Amino acid sequence: MRSRGSTLLEALVALAIAALVLAALSGATVRARAARAAATARADRLGASRTVLLRLAAELEAARRPGTGERFALEPPADGAPPWWSLSFPTAARGPITGSTPTGDTSVVSYRIERDVDRPGAGTLVRRETTAPIPASEAPAIPVLPGVRALRVRCLDSAGWHPAWQAEDLPHAVEIAIGQDDGRGGTEEFVTAVALQAATP
């Protein structure tokens, strides 16, 4: 009887240890999956933001002096509104954007944020493209980047940086900063600056 009792106790101890090991392994697996999902989501955000910035940079680099019915316009947000600038300009850069089919060698593109009713404080960056004299604001909006909390733009001329632009000449350079929801209640910012080739020296 004593030998049997000792064997049963050992079995219970072994089962308890096995349960603890399995629980630890299960917790580690769950944490690893969560970390992998977070890393994948961040990589997706980085890729999407980088793609948008590269395209916007290429279009700005190829911006040309406004003609009849066109303009280079940078509008800051109203007081108390989210930090969402809007930008519109003529450009010679063209590329495949689903739903955008203007004709001609040049086009007018615009970027702005449209509010996301399901995500307070965030919106979707949309792009419009058309040809003059049709305003870019009347073209269909094509979503290019969701989860945007901030879109800050400023223009550079010989006098310095400006948060708004309505002049006939092109700015020398444009800086764009996109603040995207990081999925944890914070913001991850991506910044680039572009020199405009057609700007007056």
Look at 201 and 180; give whichever has higher pLDDT.
Answer: 180
């603890």: which residue's tokens? Answer: 20
Supply the pTM of this predicted model: 0.74
SS3 of 41-52 = HHHHHHHHHHHH
Please state, in angstroms and rounded to a whole number, the distance separating the CA atoms of residues 198 and 201: 9
Nearest Cα residue to 92 out of 53, 50, 67, 61: 61
Look at 76 and 71; give whichever has higher pLDDT.
Answer: 76
φ and ψ at residue 89, rounded to 5 degrees: -165, 155
Confidence check: pLDDT of 127 > 70: yes
Non-local (6+) Cβ contacts of 106 within 8 A are: 64, 90, 91, 92, 131
Look at 23 and 6; give whichever has higher pLDDT.
Answer: 23
Number of Cβ within 10 Å of residue 146's Cβ equals 15
And the tokens for 192? 């680039």
pLDDT tens digits, residue range 17-74? 888 888 777 777 777 777 777 667 767 777 888 899 999 999 999 998 887 767 899 9
Please state, in angstroms and rounded to a whole number, the distance separating the CA atoms of residues 73 and 71: 6
pLDDT for the residue 100: 47
Please state, in angstroms and rounded to a whole number, the distance separating the CA atoms of residues 125 and 194: 19
Non-local (6+) Cβ contacts of 180 within 8 A are: 45, 49, 145, 147, 148, 149, 187, 188, 189, 190
pLDDT for the residue 105: 61
Single-letter amino acid code for the residue at 159: A
Confidence check: pLDDT of 153 > 90: yes
Confidence check: pLDDT of 97 > 70: no
**What are residue 157's DSSP bridge partners?**
160
pLDDT for the residue 152: 96
Please state, in angstroms and rounded to a whole number, the distance separating the CA atoms of residues 152 and 173: 14
Confidence check: pLDDT of 86 > 90: yes
